[in-house]
Structure 1
Amino acid sequence: MANLSAWEAALDDLEIRLDAAALSMAVGRSDSEAGSVGSGGVATGSTGEGGGVITPVEAAWTAPKGLGAIPAELAARVQDLLHNQQKLINELERARTLTLKHLTAVRSVPPERDARASVYLDVAG
């Protein structure tokens, strides 16, 4: 059963990290936009009750060692986690694309010119 409890702890950690990432994406959005993230099903509802030690989400993730094969009774949970991770990846890609569009628009605005500076126009050239 050590394999099962180790896998549960590892999945708890991944679910907490996924929830934290989804939450951090929603923080900067308006209430109507944040609601769309929740409706996307990204939140996993993880509570960390697996009995394992949960590392802080700020810490860099490292793959656990020595877990062995995924126990069959956790297969559905692993599939759910994978599905929710893919949803978050898609949300991140959409946010990245939108950010690049905004950045392009901001960069297209010419810098403010000093009104006291002279402006010359060469009409002959």
Structure 2
Amino acid sequence: MHNETSTPVNRDVAAWSAVLDDLEQRLGRSAADQHAEVDEWTPPMGIGPIPAQLVDRAHELLSGQRERAHELDVTKNEVTRHLDAVRSVPAMRQASAAVYLDVTG
């Protein structure tokens, strides 16, 4: 009896499918919760090149990762601008002095 799952091609597809599943889950967690901690990813060793039938899936994942990286970069820039604005407010020197913060301009 011949077992289809034992062929090298099927093992490569299964191994790469597991890798892509993991990366897609990591991306999903990051997109769903910007505060989610995602462990550092280590590329698997010894599974060979990605099988042709998974290339489109890998490209979609890469596109999603690039989009998420852009979103994180935009968020980082917004936070930097907010921190710069907060830092630009002079420290109060006298407890009795009034402090006004222009929140519209």
Partners of 2:24 and 2:61 within 8 A in 1: yes
Q: Is the aligned partner of 1:77 residue 2:57?
A: yes
Q: Using the aligned pairs only, state the percent identity.
A: 42
Match of 1:95, SS state, is: helix
Matches within 5 A, 1:48-67: 58-67=38-47
User: 5+ unaligned residues in a row in structure 2: which ranges?
Assistant: 1-9, 97-105
1:92 matched to 2:72? The reply is yes
The answer to which structure, 1 or 2, has the higher relative contact order (CA under 8 A, 6+ apart) is 1
Which structure has more helix as a fraction of its residues?
Answer: 2
Q: CA RMSD in A?
A: 1.9
Give the letter for the 1:90 counterpart.
H
Number of equivalenced pairs: 87
TM-score, length basis structure 2: 0.74
Structure 1 residue 17 displacement after superposition: 0.5
* Cα-to-partner distance string for 1:54-106 (whole Å, 9 max, x where unaligned): xxx74331111111111011011001001101100110111111111001000
Structure 1: unaligned runs, 5 residues or longer: 28-56, 117-125
Greater than 6 Å deviation, 4+ residue runs? none
